[in-house]
Amino acid sequence: MRLLTNTGLSLAILLVAIAVAPAAKADPIVISTGGFSLINLGNNGLGVSGKDSLAGAAASSSHNFSAPGSFVALLNPLTFSTGFTGPASSGTYSFNFSQPLTINGVTQTLNLVGSITISPTIDTVRILSSAPLTFNFNTFSVDVKVLPTAIHEWGEGVFCDVLKGEFTVRTNCDPVPEPATLSLLGIGLAGIAAKLRQRRKLRRV
């Protein structure tokens, strides 16, 4: 009976110690992009060289976000330069491009899809979507989704906007235990083993 009591007490102490052990805190989520430059979008070769063009400047930001959920962050400041793209260049043209995206020191390639619509009076450039991208870390994962954006402009000029992304943070189901938790577990198991050895010695006497 005493053995069961001591063993139960040891297990209870172990469970309480594990429960009150501090949980691992997620580091701040640091995001940075490499930027991109696209020229002659929809230009049929008879227009002004380099027009229409879309550039996304490199950017970085930090977000203190550790709980499951999502937030919106800047990916790139955008610059859209319009001009004469050539006679009979009106229409809608699709394009693909990519840029490096880094989260907490891990870099992947963000592949994006866009389109440009050229008319005699208005040029419209759109960033439509991106391929699914997931960053996996020790205790959490981050899914990245590009938010669609469009810039509509009359005539020739330079126009600005921003490209943003939605970042969804998910907590991993089986995070690696902290060293302190593993130590407590080892101490508890050692205590149970000692009690069992003591009980066996008493039986032999």
Question: How many helices, marked H, and strands, marked E, lie in the chain?
Answer: 2, 12
Contact 80/161 with Cβ under 8 angstroms? yes
Q: What backbone torsions phi and psi does residue 80 show, to the nearest 5 degrees?
A: -115, 115
Between the alpha carbon of residue 111 and those of residues 92, 135, 165, the distances in Å are: 20, 15, 13
Tens-digit pLDDT profile for the chain (205 aa)?
Answer: 444 444 444 444 444 444 444 444 556 899 999 999 999 998 888 888 888 999 999 999 999 987 799 999 999 999 999 988 888 889 999 999 999 999 999 999 999 999 999 998 899 999 999 999 999 999 999 999 999 999 998 878 999 999 999 999 999 875 445 555 555 555 655 566 566 667 666 666 5
The whole-number pLDDT of residue 129 equals 96
Residues whose CB falls within 8 Å of the CB of residue 119, separated by 6 or more in sequence, listed in order: 90
Contact 114/63 with Cβ under 8 angstroms? no
The whole-number pLDDT of residue 43 equals 87
The whole-number pLDDT of residue 194 equals 62
Domain boundaries, the chain: 1-22+178-205, 28-177
Q: How far is it, in rounded angstroms, from Cα 59 to Cα 26? A: 22
The whole-number pLDDT of residue 177 equals 53
R_g of the chain, CA atoms, integer Å? 29
The whole-number pLDDT of residue 132 equals 93
Q: How far is it, in rounded angstroms, from Cα 127 to Cα 168? A: 20
Q: Which residue is associated with the tokens 């669609």?
A: 148
Contact 59/80 with Cβ under 8 angstroms? no
